[in-house]
């Protein structure tokens, strides 16, 4: 291992970026890359967005930090926007996805009093800190970190009976992604989320939706559960919320919020002024027109992928601008991502065989065509080498 001073937690691609503009990034050699990853679903409005930059700059010129001990009208303004869009009432701000999930778990347990069990799904991903890691339904992330936090049950994703059978008198909540992002861009059968809401209501347990990856416009609705005509009891979101400035948000119903008192939870940096300034602009930019254009661009990309008619593709799935392409016949997602990087296109992966596409909302047909052409060429070159 080369000594970089950095702990070896990431296998990094051999490129360093020095500049970003819209849907493009530029490396130290000045080479241009079209960004179909957005820092893993973060920079939805692209790099260097002028309105977001101006808002952060203005806040920088004022102050950077005062703690959460004082009133903040900017936090309150964002909280009201998130409450309105989510159909819920109160917001707790943190700094990341995993923290937004930790808060959701704590609020649910506080609400549940003596009840503490939370049902989550296999292949889910909820974060890397102990609560969210214990909620995550993938063994590879737990390995070596036992004992985990007790009280989590993992059942099959997409099967309502599996959740129903797991509910006991101790169950306080179900925690779920509407599309499993990290786990393979897995889309559940239609009607699943709606039935889950009905089940939770009937059993008197909370429905917590993890919108860390799918929220903030990614699927073409402000929150992805709005495609399913449901309102959860708690929503956790982060990633795209401030277009790259760290921020997490946990949004709760009034009933859940009533269980929380000063001192029950907190964060020194949570809802920091720079992130809140950026997120207030992001929330305004995510209007009906933008959400419709995300759905349109997602359809163009999805249709383009289907139009490639490639034997190497097993399945194409997703919603809006979160799309997974599952490869078959031993094609490795990492090899494809590396080859595409060399040709100036950044993409993500979910496991060994799924490539994950998370382009910015400002993507145009020009960039979609560039992606499709590069993807087709990379995979056909790899096919030739294999044979």
Minimum distance from residue 322 beta carbon to ligand PLP (Å): 10
Residue number, 91 or 310, with CB nearest to ligand PLP: 91
250 neighbors 107 (Cβ within 8 angstroms) = yes
Pick the closest to residue 297 from 375, 363, 215, 217 (CA basis): 363
Backbone angles phi, psi at 367, to 5 degrees: -70, -35
What minimum distance in Å lies between the beta carbon of 177 and ligand PLP? Answer: 5
C-alpha torsion sign, points 60, 63, 64, 70 = negative
- Tell me whether residue 136 or residue 353 sits nearer to ligand PLP (CB atom): 136
Smallest distance from ligand PLP to CB 235, Å: 12
Nearer to ligand PLP, 78 or 175 (CB): 175
Q: What is the DSSP letter of 360?
A: -
Q: How far apart are CB 244 and ligand PLP at their closest, in Å?
A: 12
Q: From the CB of residue 146, how many other CB atoms can be counted at a distance below 10 Å? A: 7
Which residue's CB comes closest to ligand PLP?
97
User: Residue 250 in contact with residue 290, Cβ under 8 Å?
Assistant: no
Instruction: Say how far apart CA 36 and CA 323 lie, in whole Å.
Output: 10
What number of other Cβ atoms are within 10 A of residue 72's Cβ?
16
Output the smallest distance, CB 31 to ligand PLP, in A: 27
Q: Which is nearer to ligand PLP, 22 or 360 (CB)?
A: 360
CB 221, min distance to ligand PLP, A: 16
Q: Enumerate binding residues for ligand PLP (CB under 6 A).
A: 96-98, 101, 125-127, 177, 181-182, 210, 212-213, 238
Q: Which is nearer to ligand PLP, 322 or 382 (CB)?
A: 322
Helix, strand counts (H, E) of the chain: 13, 15
For residues 188 and 158, is the Cβ–Cβ distance under 8 A? yes
Distance from C-alpha of 387 to C-alpha of 385, rounded to nearest angstrom? 6
CB-nearer residue toward ligand PLP: 250 or 374: 250
């Amino acid at each position: 291992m080369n000594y970089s001073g950095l702990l070896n937690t990431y296998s990094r691609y051999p490129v360093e970026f020095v500049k970003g503009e819209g849907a493009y990034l530029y490396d130290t050699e000045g080479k241009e890359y079209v960004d179909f990853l957005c820092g893993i679903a973060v920079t939805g409005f692209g790099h260097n967005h002028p309105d977001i930059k101006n808002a952060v700059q203005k806040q920088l010129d004022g102050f950077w930090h005062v703690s959460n001990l004082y009133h903040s009208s900017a936090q309150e303004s964002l909280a009201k926007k998130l409450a309105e869009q989510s159909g819920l009432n109160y917001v707790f701000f943190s700094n990341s996805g995993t923290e937004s999930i930790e808060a959701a778990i704590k609020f649910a347990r506080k609400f549940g009093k003596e009840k503490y069990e939370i049902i989550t799904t296999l292949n889910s991903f909820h974060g890397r800190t102990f609560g969210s890691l214990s909620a995550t339904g993938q063994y590879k992330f737990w390995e070596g970190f036992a004992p985990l936090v007790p009280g989590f049950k993992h059942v099959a994703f997409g099967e309502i009976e599996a959740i129903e059978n797991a509910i006991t008198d101790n169950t306080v909540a179900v925690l779920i992604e509407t599309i499993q992002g990290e786990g393979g861009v897995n889309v559940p059968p239609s009607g699943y989320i709606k039935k889950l809401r009905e089940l939770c209501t009937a059993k008197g347990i909370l429905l917590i939706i993890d919108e860390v990856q799918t929220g903030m416009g990614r699927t073409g609705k402000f929150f992805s559960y709005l495609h399913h005509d449901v309102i959860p009891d708690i929503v956790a979101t982060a990633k795209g919320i401030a277009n790259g400035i760290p921020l997490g948000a946990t949004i709760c119903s009034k009933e859940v919020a009533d269980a929380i008192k000063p001192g029950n939870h907190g964060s020194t940096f949570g809802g920091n002024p720079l992130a809140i300034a950026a997120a207030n602009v992001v929330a305004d930019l995510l209007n009906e027109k933008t959400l419709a254009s995300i759905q349109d661009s997602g359809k163009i990309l999805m249709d383009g992928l289907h139009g490639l008619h490639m034997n190497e593709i097993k399945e194409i799935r997703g919603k809006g601008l979160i799309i997974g392409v599952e490869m078959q016949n031993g094609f490795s997602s990492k090899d494809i991502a590396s080859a595409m990087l060399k040709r100036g296109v950044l993409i993500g992966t979910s496991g060994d065989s799924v490539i994950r596409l998370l382009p910015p909302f400002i993507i145009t047909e020009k960039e979609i065509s560039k992606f499709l052409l590069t993807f087709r060429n990379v995979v056909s070159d790899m096919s030739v080498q294999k044979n």
